[in-house]
Amino acid sequence: MTGDVVLDARAVGKRFPGVVALSDVDLTLAAGEVHALVGENGAGKSTLIKVLTGVHPPDSGELVFQGGPVRFSRPLDAQAAGISTVYQEINLVPLMSVASNLFLGREPRTRWGLMDFRAMNTAASTLLRSYGVEVDVTRPLRTLGAGVRQMVAVARAAATDARVVILDEPTSSLEPREVDTLFAIIDRVRAGGAAVLYVSHRLDELYRICDTVTVLRDGRKVHSGPMAELPRLRLVALMLGRDLEQIRKEGTTKFDSAQPEARQTPVLAAKGLTSPHLLHGVDVTVRPGEIVGLGGLLGAGRSETVRAIAGSLPVDSGTVTVAGKSVRSGSVAAAMRAGVVMLPEDRKSDGILPDLSVRENIVLAALPRLSAAGLVSRKRQDTIVDTFIRRLRIKASSPDQKVGELSGGNQQKVLLARLLCREPKVLLLDEPTRGIDVGAKAEVQALVAELAAEGLGVVLISSEFEEVVEGSDSIVVLREGHVVAQLRGGDVTEQKLIAALAEGGDG
Amino acid sequence: MAEATVTPVAAPTARRLRDYGVYAALGILVAYNLLFTGNFATLANLNTQLVQVTPILIAALGMALVIGTEGVDLSVGSVMALSAALLPLYLGYGLMPALLVALLGGALCGVFSGTLVAVVGIQPIVATLALLVGGRGLALVIADGRLKDIRNPMLLELGSGSVAGIPIVVLIAAVLTLIVGFVVRYTTFGRQLVAVGGNRSASVLAGLPVRRILIVTYVISGVLAAIAGIVATARLTASDPSAIGQLAELSAITAVVVGGTPLNGGRVRILGTVAGALLMQLISATLIKHNLPTSAGLVVQAVIIVVAVLLQRPRLAGAK
């Protein structure tokens, strides 16, 4: 059912200062196919989409669109040519009506040059009805649910007579029923002869809707071919760059349910954490001195799990118990009082105060206990700051140096010191070594092990599988917000982890 | 250790200009006046200049705190008017009750805008705009739209008296400056305020009581604005809610920004704010002394504001 090649990217390369984002990537989209584009974080998916849609011109290689070479210098050129994109953050105007959004930029006019609202509304409802979406098209878009908004975005892309429709994580905010409707729309777009480029991390969806697949890793194309001929396990292995044979040798994972340390009271017990679209009944148990890794692909709900435990992500249901005492959910302050602290994933936006000194960044969370009658005691501050600077080997010219001037690794250590000031019982670490140099990374890893040895419970997230496997005593494997496996003892190996990612649960 | 410094830091000149430019500008202007303006270097003139700037300066102290939280308080002028209107109501019971009522009015205004900002989540500029409009209206209603002469001798003394040659209102402003400066630098609250302005989500994650900090900040701003209104009333020897505090919010913001406090929060410069207020006052005074029209003064002020804001740009102010 696939036809002529619509868009052919040949040996596309793109570098940014300091990084090669794409190198010799080929991508061929044929009319009437849904083409999956997959890869882990940093694989180059977004850069490739941006090259295809004229946001970034490629540094090398060429784009051939409908038989002729093209060069898009801005997104408008690509749109005019017939490449339509639905971004992850929906590019619609929330205050305008559904119909206005559908016809934004190509509104029907009356012969006086004014907007022809009647024609627009009729055309809009006919169009949406043909996709099986029944809504009042005169309502402002923002009054509709995320699902309908996504449908409108896709319908808009499809209705512009686009030859190529690019969908970036279209189902991330949809309910299962809405996913069905979306897939029906995609089917119609495909039947209409357009090519669809489908970006998603949800393997089930890829196998359901996609005809072909291209896998990117570290800016290179590592595989391209029919979706149905690529086994799930091999797809995951390709994405992560792991040797398939080795995984095979280990065989399919058997998840033993023995709990050797069961006698010890857990320092952290999270049960049934549920948050719409993000978490579906996640359980995590950590005993004193234990490091529990969270395994999963991008978007599996790892960060959401720790944020729910730390109280910064509201949950619909589920309980968090720390050292036997239950903690009020949805409150960072309550979680901290109970002894749970979190190192956020995004150091820059959620962590450091770049303009403040190392000292102030460290004592931030502990100010009240270092103060008497509201006055900050400089002496007690200095004692604690000196201790941590020495213990974590923070390299700063002085405690007065601004944190924004430190290297990434040292910023991370400052944040760790901030958490440790609170004398926590449970440490939640979300990507503790991302973006820091090798030396500092080893130091942070050693420090985490040391803290656990002192009796802290640690939950560790890392997109580097070696780090999770080497650092953890057990691993909770998540997929699409569900716990699909739990690895313990001898099962904590990269092979078993990858196998669980691909096949865990009912797959 | 030098190797720890990897992030590019602001061009030193630009940063120094941002941090100390206001003092340099003030110094140059003072030097100019000493040389070329007759009767400038007299105690009487110095006192006049200082007395004139006090209400704005006091309001600007609160403004600096609010701006430090990445907010802005547009209501200070109206709160000044409200406090001026409240003041005569209870003067019959003595000065103290009257002052307390006026200050309480300012505090309540702060609770109102602080709650809108911190709890309801309305943007500061809109939340305080409501009070900018409503506060003066309420003041005029309370005062029945009329100017009331002040006859309380203690209040009049407060407005025109001096201690050891220094006007009382200037002493009040000086003491308030010291207190606010101390609060910012040495108290838990002050440090937390700066943290909230510098990175709100990091502060939430660090478990800071962000809402409470924000509300208290607006309350302080409201109380300081009320004090500014009292001072202005005492100097005017009349409660005039239609004139007191007109456009004071803009002058206060100008003083804060010119003084080197960035509008995107995370830094509060109290001494800079004082210098900024003095600089603006001295510019208009200089132009008046040299018989230039006030409109020329506005243009000069505008230029200074633009320069101050340019110096605050992140590119110049260092890596973010």
Condensed to tens digits (0 to 9), the pLDDT of residues A267-284 reads 999 999 998 888 999 999
Residue A89's pLDDT is 55
Cβ distance B5 to A406 less than 8 Å, yes or no, reads yes
Beta-carbon contacts below 8 Å between A and B: 102
Is residue A257 a part of any domain in this protein? no
Cβ distance A353 to B9 less than 8 Å, yes or no, reads no
A483 lies within 8 A of chain B by CB: no
Residue A372's pLDDT is 77
A344 lies within 8 A of chain B by CB: yes
Q: Which residue has the higher pLDDT, A329 or B320?
A: A329
Mean pLDDT (whole number) for A294-320:
89
The confidence band for A64, taking pLDDT boundaries of 50, 70 and 90, is very high
> CA Rg, chain A, in Å?
26
Give A-chain residues touching B188 at CB under 8 angstroms.
367-368, 371, 374-376
Residue type, A189: V
Which of B188, B189, B208 is the best substitution to test chain A (most A C-beta atoms within 10 A)? B188
Residue A271: how many CB atoms within 10 A of its CB?
14
| Cα A218 from Cα A10, distance rounded (Å) | 17
- Which token pair is A439? 């030396």
A407 lies within 8 A of chain B by CB: yes
Distance from CA of A449 to the nearest CA of B (A): 23
Helix (H/G/I), strand (E/B), else coil: A305: helix
Q: Which of residues 128-157 of A touch B (CB under 8 A)?
A: none
**B214 to each of A369, B115, B222, B223, how far by Cα in Å?**
20, 8, 12, 14
Question: Among A43-52, A278-287, B110-119, B126-135, which stretch is predicted with the lowest mean pLDDT?
Answer: A43-52
Mean pLDDT (whole number) for A441-468:
87
Residue A122: how many CA atoms within 13 Å on its side-chain side?
5
Residue A1's pLDDT is 47
A393 lies within 8 A of chain B by CB: no
- Which token pair is B112? 């109102």
Q: Which residue of B has its CA nearest to A337?
A: B207
Q: What domain range is A125 assigned to? A: 96-139
Residue A445's pLDDT is 87
**Phi and psi dihedrals of A321, rounded to 5?**
-120, 130
Instruction: Please check the confidence at residue A110 and state whether its pLDDT lies above 90.
Output: no
**B32 close to B41: Cβ distance less than 8 angstroms:** no
**B57 close to B255: Cβ distance less than 8 angstroms:** yes
Best mean pLDDT range from A109-118, A342-351, B62-71: B62-71
Residue A248's pLDDT is 56
CATH number for the domain including A209?
3.40.50.300
Distance from CA of A405 to the nearest CA of B (A): 5
Judge if A307 and A345 occupy the same domain: yes
A373 lies within 8 A of chain B by CB: no
Give A-chain residues touching B266 at CB under 8 angstroms.
353, 355-356
Residue B3's pLDDT is 36
- Which token pair is A157? 């892309």
Give A-chain residues touching B192 at CB under 8 angstroms.
364, 367
Residue B248's pLDDT is 92
Give B-chain residues touching A376 at CB under 8 angstroms.
186-188, 191
ipTM of the complex, rounded to two decimals: 0.70
SS3 track for chain B: CHHHCCCCCCCHHHHHHHHHHHHHHHHHHHHHHHHHCCCCCCHHHHHHHHHHHHHHHHHHHHHHHHHHCCCCCCCHHHHHHHHHHHHHHHHHHCHHHHHHHHHHHHHHHHHHHHHHHHHHCCCHHHHHHHHHHHHHHHHHHHCCCCCEECCCHHHHHHHHCEECCEEHHHHHHHHHHHHHHHHHHHEHHHHHHHHHHHCHHHHHHCCCCHHHHHHHHHHHHHHHHHHHHHHHHHHHCEECCCCCCCCHHHHHHHHHHHCCCCCCCCCCCHHHHHHHHHHHHHHHHHHHHCCCCHHHHHHHHHHHHHHHHHHCCHHHHCCC
Residue A77's pLDDT is 84
Nearest CB partner across the interface for B188, out of A344, A374, A410: A374
**B199 close to A353: Cβ distance less than 8 angstroms:** yes
Give A-chain residues touching B203 at CB under 8 angstroms.
364
Cβ distance B198 to A355 less than 8 Å, yes or no, reads yes
The confidence band for B1, taking pLDDT boundaries of 50, 70 and 90, is very low
Is residue A352 a part of any domain in this protein? yes
Judge if A319 and A382 occupy the same domain: yes
Cβ distance B320 to A404 less than 8 Å, yes or no, reads yes
Give B-chain residues touching A336 at CB under 8 angstroms.
207
Judge if A283 and A371 occupy the same domain: yes
User: Across-strand partners of A294?
Assistant: A461, A476
Helix (H/G/I), strand (E/B), else coil: A400: coil
Give A-chain residues touching B209 at CB under 8 angstroms.
333
Give A-chain residues touching B68 at CB under 8 angstroms.
none
Residue B19's pLDDT is 76
Question: Among A54-63, A85-94, A121-130, which stretch is predicted with the lowest mean pLDDT?
Answer: A85-94
Q: Which residues touch B298 (CB under 8 Å, ≥6 apart)?
A: none
Judge if A337 and A485 occupy the same domain: yes
Judge if A237 and A171 occupy the same domain: yes
Q: Which residue of B has its CA nearest to A312?
A: B205
Residue A374's pLDDT is 79
Give A-chain residues touching B204 at CB under 8 angstroms.
312, 332
Mean pLDDT (whole number) for B145-156:
87
Judge if A120 and A206 occupy the same domain: no
Is residue A177 a part of any domain in this protein? yes
| Cα A274 from Cα A463, distance rounded (Å) | 23
User: Across-strand partners of A5?
Assistant: A30
Give B-chain residues touching A410 at CB under 8 angstroms.
4
Is residue A414 a part of any domain in this protein? yes
| Cα B30 from Cα B37, distance rounded (Å) | 10
Cβ distance B1 to A396 less than 8 Å, yes or no, reads yes
Q: Which residue has the higher pLDDT, B106 or A445?
A: B106
Nearest CB partner across the interface for B319, out of A351, A395, A404: A404
Average pLDDT, rounded, for chain A: 84
Give A-chain residues touching B195 at CB under 8 angstroms.
353, 356, 360, 364
Angle at A378 between CA A374 and CA A384, to 5 degrees: 105
| Of residues B76, B69, B82, the one with CA closest to residue B117 | B69
Nearest CB partner across the interface for B186, out of A310, A375, A397: A375
Distance from CA of A318 to the nearest CA of B (A): 21
Nearest CB partner across the interface for B4, out of A337, A367, A395: A395
Which residues of B fall below an 8 Å CB-CB distance to A?
Answer: 1-7, 9, 186-189, 191-192, 194-195, 198-199, 201-209, 266-267, 318-320
Is residue A258 a part of any domain in this protein? no
The confidence band for B70, taking pLDDT boundaries of 50, 70 and 90, is very high
The confidence band for B268, taking pLDDT boundaries of 50, 70 and 90, is very high
Beta strand A291-295 pairing with A474-479: parallel
Mean pLDDT (whole number) for A441-458:
87
Instruction: Please check the confidence at residue B222 and state whether its pLDDT lies above 90.
Output: yes
Number of domains within chain A: 3
Distance from CA of B193 to the nearest CA of A (A): 11
Helix (H/G/I), strand (E/B), else coil: A3: coil
Cβ distance A353 to B188 less than 8 Å, yes or no, reads no
Is residue A364 a part of any domain in this protein? yes
Judge if A118 and A159 occupy the same domain: no
Judge if A326 and A445 occupy the same domain: yes
Judge if A362 and A305 occupy the same domain: yes
pLDDT tens digits along A473-494: 999 999 888 999 899 888 888 8
Give A-chain residues touching B267 at CB under 8 angstroms.
355
Best mean pLDDT range from A237-246, A296-305, B118-127: B118-127
Percent of residues, chain A, with pLDDT higher than 90: 26
For A475, the enclosing helix (H) or strand (E) is strand A474-479
Judge if A164 and A188 occupy the same domain: yes
pLDDT tens digits along A210-256: 999 999 988 899 999 999 998 888 888 888 777 666 655 554 443 34
Q: Which residue has the higher pLDDT, A269 or A100?
A: A269
Is residue A324 a part of any domain in this protein? yes
By residue count, chain B amounts to 320
| Cα A164 from Cα A28, distance rounded (Å) | 11
Q: How buried is residue B130: exposed, middle or buried, by Cβ count under 10 Å (0-12/13-18/19+)? A: middle
Judge if A242 and A343 occupy the same domain: no
Instruction: Please check the confidence at residue A95 and state whether its pLDDT lies above 90.
Output: no
Is residue A305 a part of any domain in this protein? yes
Residue B307's pLDDT is 85
Percent of residues, chain A, with pLDDT higher than 70: 93
Judge if A170 and A283 occupy the same domain: no
| Cα B138 from Cα B135, distance rounded (Å) | 5
Question: Among A77-86, A147-156, A239-248, which stretch is predicted with the lowest mean pLDDT?
Answer: A239-248
| Of residues A462, A5, A507, the one with CA closest to residue A240 | A462
Identify each DSSP E strand in A157-205 by its residue range.
Answer: 164-168, 195-199
**A395 close to A410: Cβ distance less than 8 angstroms:** yes
Average pLDDT, rounded, for chain B: 87
